[in-house]
Structure 1
Amino acid sequence: MSPASSELSEQEQRRREERDALERRGIDPYPYAWDVDAHADEILDTFDDDLHQPEDGEVGGYKVSVAGRITGLRVMGGSAFFDLRDETGTIQVYVRSQDLGDDFYDEVFTELFDIGDIVGVEGFVFRTGMGEVTVRAADEFQLLAKALRPLPVVKETEEETYYEVTDKEFRYRQRYVDLAVNEDVRGVFRQRSKLISTMRGFLDEQGCLEVETPVLQPVYGGASAAPFETHHNALDMPLYLRIADELYLKRLLVGGFEGVYEIGKDFRNEGLSRFHNPEFTMMECYVAYKDYRWMMDLTEDLLRTAATALHDTPTVAFEGHEIDFGGGWTRIPFFEAIEEATGFDLYRAGADRVYDVAANELGLEEVEADMGLGGLLDEIFSETVEPTLVQPTFVTDYPIELSPLAKKHREKEGLVERFELVVAGREVANAFSELNDPQDQRERFERQARQRAAEVDDDVDPEDLIDEDYLRALEYGMPPAAGLGVGIDRLTMILTGQESIRDVILFPLLRPEQ
């Protein structure tokens, strides 16, 4: 539905009148296609004065056909310059009335074209007297899309760039505008894409197979989180958006694949923050016949490769720190890390003792006596240890209460073979020696299901929360294996220097627009 005229700004109303005027002249403001054979960066990189500079009055030999958005316009009588921005950058375009025809130049271009319009230009490349490489619209010049809303004005000085719109919520909500005016933002998402392609290439070289598993699941599992619920009408059954890929990927190990990975969306029906979006991207990888110690080495290699691909060095700047992904990362057990940070040895301590330390000795405000041992330990770790870990650090050997899918530690009672990778105070990766004993897994699922049912609704049957098909798969035999999950969004934040997860997700979830 078009906005009412009374709701339009003066510029918006004028642009609509310009569109109507174009149509009256027989000019389609939205034609079908344009043949592009060059981009701004290519032209600027390859232009050669000796080969392509025309003599006075001659048409140059470096012919191009380009298209993009007008981002700056300078009219000077019978000629004009404008900045044309395409996906790769910005190049100057020169137009003259004698090339376009006086009627088109005077009555169409200067009167009915605006900053923000998308145009196609065919002509030759030359260098102006001011030394700027420029495309002269000598052959063809066409409007490709009339912009009915003005873009935010960008003003640049040697020190700063000023935006008419600086509100981040506007930028997140209208990301298309943010991308159109902010080349740095486009660069962040190019780096995100390169990160994912680098990880994919690395895992392919390891012999892992990229797969796809269900997003809609009859039983959600693989993590402790609240799911999004939906309903399938034809089957008349509830379904859940997955909270993790894990259980389906491990079914594939049962089926005989020895290395599988998936890069895809997961969904958790929880709060929003600088580090959390309900829809997020994970890479999960499972490799048969390996353990979590092997997976630590793989993780170092993977992230070193990714950081170097983006920056030509494994060291990146983030929040005032130089983060070194070069390898040789610190490895520290969970309880040892807590003792170093707090002075309290809580290994083998009961829930009452841990609650006393958390609430009374450490004064943590978010703890409750009924959180359970795992929840209390997690809160202590999150508040006292995690924020202090700036350089990549593997925190290992977690309490079993926090890890229902990890194999019991081969040497230490009450612990599991698990690590989390923490970088700049944030969990970036999580990995296990995977639990493949079906009886042990059933007992842990049952405990977890009882806890979930109590937290969600006393009327929920814990049996409905147990993935019986996964347990059946384990009973056919799953080889020993190592599993890894990497949060793509958080890793992208660190590798691109962004302060919020919303800065690395193209269209983050926001409250309804008022």
Structure 2
Amino acid sequence: MPAPRNNDTFRHEDATSPRARLAAVRRRAALLAEARAFFGERGYLEVETPVLARVGAADAQLAQFALNDPVLGTLYLQTSPEYAMKRLIMAGSGSIFQITKAFRQGEVGRFHNPEFTLVEWYGLGYDHRRLIAEACALIARLVPSLQASARIISYRDAFRDALNIDPIEDPTDRLRAVAYDCLASARKLTLDDRDEILDLLMSHAVAPGFATKALTVVTDYPASQASLARLNAQGLADRFEIYRGSLELANGFHEASRAEEYAERFAHEAAKRRERGLPSIDPDHRLLAALTQGRLPDCAGCALGFDRVLMLAMDAAHIDEVLAFPIAQA
């Protein structure tokens, strides 16, 4: 591998030399085998679902690759196998996992490649708390240098500790003022959307304070950020995100189960798309039809960014270092 980060002679291109690429290929193979062993020990079934489908993700924040086929019409490269995996669960698959390629448009940078490897799994009978323990155990198994125990903190307390604001109760004007005050880059932006402000503060002012030697798990998100997670008795989302320092590694939900919830969430995201002038995406009618025939069994699901975990395992500074051929070389 290349010289350590504190060596002034280090150049990023050294990390993507043929020799370094082969080292990353071998380490990737070893960790993929370790991940499969982890799920096998827990009785999960490995599945495979399409990466090219007729529907895309509902989430308005995700920029998706759309392809136009002369016969089939618009097809989407999947940002996650979530919808298809839930259909398998409702068909009786039991607890399942998948290691797959996922795609997001316009995401290129130190921690982003438009094509990336995702580990996604669903534990039947799990709530998000049980899945947090399992996800942290998987990450610690793949990256033994991380401390085994994780700090679990609510979304509200994370903001209170870092910025002395309440992201649930404080008015949007206060959140905006804090963003303008503590983030110079925010002063160039027009911040009208509350969740956009919170996302900006989380990534640039809250998460940078998280520990780098251990994992931090953020729980109990605002209902407006529930995506397809259940809402608890306090009206907060049973959702979590796992960080190492400021780097997000995984996110998961105690999954919503009723067709009405999914239809409402899809409609909400469609409205956001219209407001932002984004292309419309039809809801996943097959998933909704399956949910109409019967609820999704009680389960929790998690998506783990495998390339980022591999970066930690190899002490890599850039995602390109752990990819055989990053987008610039593909």
Contact between 2:258 and 2:291, CA under 8 Å: does it hold in 1? yes
1:466 aligns with 2:283: yes
Q: Tell me the CA shift for residue 280 of structure 1.
A: 0.5
What is the match of residue 416 of structure 1?
Answer: 237
The alpha carbon displacement at 1:369 in A equals: 4.6
State the Cα distance separating 1:371 from its structure 2 match.
Answer: 4.4
CA spacing shift, 1:200–1:292, aligned 2, 3 Å: same
The residue aligned with 1:239 is 75
Q: Deviations over 1:326-367 (max 9, x none)?
A: 2x21100011101100112232233333223322x4345337
C-alpha deviations, 1:410-468, integer Å up to 9, x for none?
A: x322x2001111013200011110111211221111111111233244xx5x5x43222
Tell me the TM-score normalized by structure 1.
0.58
CA contact (8 A) 2:58 2:266 kept: no
Give the SS at the match of 2:193.
helix
Determine the structure 2 residue equivalent to 1:345: 166
Residue 198 (structure 1) aligned to one of 34, 53, 68: 34
Q: 1:264 to 1:377 in 2, by over 3 A?
A: same
Question: Counterpart of 2:245 in structure 1: which amino acid?
Answer: A
CA distance in 2, matches of 1:342, 1:424: 17
* C-alpha spacing 1:353/1:471, structure 2 compared with 1 (3 Å): farther
Q: 2:118 aligns with which of 278, 282, 286?
A: 282
Change (3 A) 1:371 1:192: farther
Question: Are residues 1:485 and 2:307 paired?
Answer: no
> Does the C-alpha gap of structure 1 residues 222 and 213 become closer, same or farther in structure 2, counting only changes over 3 Å?
farther
**RCO comparison, higher one (Cα < 8 Å, 6+):** 2
Amino acid at match of 2:234: K
CA distance in 2, matches of 1:370, 1:444: 23
8 Å CA contact 2:139, 2:309 repeated in 1: no
CA distance in 1, matches of 2:222, 2:267: 18
Task: Please give the alpha-carbon distance, in whole angstroms, between the structure 1 residues aligned to 2:71 and 2:218.
Answer: 46
- The 3 A distance-change label for structure 1 pair 190 and 504 is same
In 1: Cα distance, 2:158 partner to 2:126 partner: 25
- Match in the other structure for 1:265: 101
Q: Distance in 2 between matches of 1:261 and 1:430?
A: 15
User: Could you tell me how far apart the structure 2 residues matched to 1:434 and 1:261 are?
Assistant: 15
Please state if 1:230 is matched with 2:67.
yes
**Alignment partner of 2:248 out of 427, 451, 454:** 427
Residue of structure 1 equivalent to 2:217: 394
CA distance in 2, matches of 1:288, 1:455: 36
Amino acid in the other structure paired with 1:242 = Q
Q: How many residues align?
A: 318
Superposed counterparts of 1:362-377, under 5 Å: 362-366=182-186, 368-377=189-198
Shift of 1:272: 1.3
- Tell me the CA shift for residue 501 of structure 1: 0.3
Contact 2:24-2:323 within 8 A present in 1 as well: no
Paired residue type of 2:247 = R
State the partner residue of 2:226: 403
| Higher mean C-alpha deviation, range 439-448 or range 466-475 | 466-475
Q: Which amino acid aligns with 1:430?
A: N
Paired AA for residue 130 in structure 2: W
With the length of structure 2 as denominator, give the TM-score of the two structures. 0.89
Larger gyration radius, structure 1 or structure 2: 1
- Structure 1 unaligned spans of 5+: 1-159, 173-177, 308-313, 316-322
Q: Distance between the aligned counterparts of 1:218 and 1:357, measured in 2?
A: 42
Counterpart amino acid of residue 246 in structure 2: G
8 Å CA contact 2:21, 2:324 repeated in 1: no
Aligned to 1:9: none
Listed as ranges, the matches of 1:140-151 within 5 Å are none
1:355 lines up with 2:176 in the alignment: yes
**Cα RMSD after superposing both structures:** 2.2
Structure 1 distance, partners of 2:326, 2:252, is 27
Secondary structure in 2 aligned to 1:483? strand
Q: For the residues of structure 1 that align with 2:329 and 2:226, how far apart are their CA atoms?
A: 33
Task: Decide which structure has greater strand share.
Answer: 1
CA contact (8 A) 2:64 2:76 kept: yes
Shift >6 Å, 4+ stretches: none
Alignment-derived partner of residue 301 in structure 1: 137
Quick check: 2:128–2:253 contact (8 Å CA) kept in 1? yes
Alpha-carbon distance change, 482 to 168 in structure 1, aligned in 2, over 3 angstroms: same
AA aligned to 1:485 is: A
Distance 1:218 1:366, change over 3 A: farther
1:222–1:243 CA contact under 8 A, matched in 2:
no
SS in 2 for 1:509: coil
**Secondary structure at the counterpart of residue 406 of structure 1:** coil
Q: State the one-letter code of the partner of 2:225.
A: L
Q: In structure 1, what is the equivalent of residue 313 of structure 2? A: 495
Amino acid at match of 1:466: P
What is the alpha-carbon distance in structure 2 between the residues aligned to residue 171 and residue 362 of structure 1?
A: 34
CA contact 2:58–2:283 (8 Å) conserved in 1: no
Q: What is the match of residue 154 of structure 2?
A: 333
